[in-house]
């Protein structure tokens, strides 16, 4: 059985917890995604959430932002129990959160400027000169002020991810969530995104949660890391602490080993019995 790891207490007794997940259980139909998950993300820090594909990393983000509700257990953001919030309270909470989606999710019919301006137009009554100043400032921060009038179809994958990042921070969020920010990027674009995540967190003084399976990139930016497996957190600590771990599941994930506690096959009936059963049924029909 995989051992559950619980997050350490806040350093120096400070009440700096932004996101707290406690004994989280969540299922889709008969499939159990989380079975007692515990983790925290602390103010001003970059928290990395790692795990093999299918461990529910993106699902966890949906629970944190109130798009899904736990089967049991708690997800709290700034002390508020997300699943208990009324719609207006949930929308107010989400306005304090920026989200970089896995595929960028740019609006294809709007140019770069209008993509970044979209949240501002939706949630504020700022004048056009102020919107222009704000959008150009954010685009300059990600190095794309000169691409303001390009359409998403004209952007490279790395450029599109940077535009999405500018849109995610345009409302000056207190919590910034990145869902697989490194997927599909070339080494140069990946290096740019890694540097931007680090700079955004430091310069803007925000809290960041980064969900990814890119171990090497996360090790360069994360303050705290959690490794998820079989519905629980099986290891936590700094990237250095995880790297020193002798846990079999940690070593399998960090070293990219094919065989280990994390199975290759999705749960299924016995292979031989399933094949023979199908063959037997066919023979029975032809007899």
**In this structure, what DSSP letter does residue 68 have?**
S
What pTM value is reported for the model? 0.79
Chain centre distance of CA 31: 21
Q: What is 1-86+208-287's CATH superfamily?
A: P-loop containing nucleotide triphosphate hydrolases (3.40.50.300)
pLDDT of residue 207: 92
pLDDT of residue 143: 85
pLDDT in tens, 227-284: 888 788 888 888 777 777 777 766 776 666 565 555 545 556 776 777 777 555 555 5
Q: How far apart are the first and last CA of the chain?
A: 46
pLDDT of residue 283: 53
Residue range 73-90: mean pLDDT, rounded: 92
pLDDT in tens, 90-124: 999 998 998 888 777 888 899 999 999 999 998 88
Residue that the structure tokens 């997050």 belong to: 7
Q: Parse the chain into domains and list their residue ranges.
A: 1-86+208-287
DSSP element (H, E) containing 191 = helix 187-204
- CA–CA gap between residue 137 and residue 133 (Å, rounded): 6
- CA–CA gap between residue 16 and residue 63 (Å, rounded): 20
Least Cα distance to 236 among 52, 19, 50 occurs for: 50
- CA–CA gap between residue 283 and residue 187 (Å, rounded): 55
pLDDT in tens, 8-64: 444 444 478 999 999 999 988 888 889 889 999 999 999 999 877 777 888 899 999
- CA–CA gap between residue 271 and residue 37 (Å, rounded): 31
């Amino acid at each position: 059985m995989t051992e559950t790891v619980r997050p350490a207490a806040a350093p120096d007794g400070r009440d700096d917890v932004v996101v707290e997940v406690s004994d989280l259980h969540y299922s889709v139909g008969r499939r159990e995604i989380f079975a007692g998950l515990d983790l925290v993300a602390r103010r001003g820090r970059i928290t990395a959430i790692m795990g093999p594909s299918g461990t529910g990393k993106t699902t966890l983000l949906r629970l944190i932002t109130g798009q899904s509700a736990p089967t049991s257990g708690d997800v709290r953001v700034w002390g508020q129990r997300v699943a208990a919030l009324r719609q207006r309270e949930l929308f107010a909470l989400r306005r304090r959160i920026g989200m970089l989606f896995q595929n960028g999710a740019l609006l294809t019919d709007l140019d770069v400027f209008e993509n970044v301006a979209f949240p501002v137009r939706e949630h504020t009554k700022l004048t056009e000169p102020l919107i222009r100043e704000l959008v150009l400032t954010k685009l300059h921060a990600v190095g794309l002020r000169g691409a303001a009038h390009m359409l998403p179809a004209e952007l490279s994958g790395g450029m599109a991810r940077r535009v999405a990042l500018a849109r995610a921070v345009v409302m000056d969020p207190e919590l910034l969530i990145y869902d697989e920010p490194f997927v599909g990027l070339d080494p140069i674009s990946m290096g740019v995104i890694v540097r931007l995540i680090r700079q955004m967190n430091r310069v803007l003084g925000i809290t960041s949660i980064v969900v990814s399976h890119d171990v090497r990139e996360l090790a360069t930016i994360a303050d705290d890391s959690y490794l998820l497996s079989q519905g629980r957190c099986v290891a936590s600590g700094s990237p250095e602490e995880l790297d020193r771990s002798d846990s079999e599941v940690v070593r399998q994930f960090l070293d990219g080993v094919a065989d280990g506690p994390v199975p290759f096959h999705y749960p299924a009936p016995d292979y031989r019995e399933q094949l023979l059963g199908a063959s037997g049924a066919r023979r029975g029909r032809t007899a």
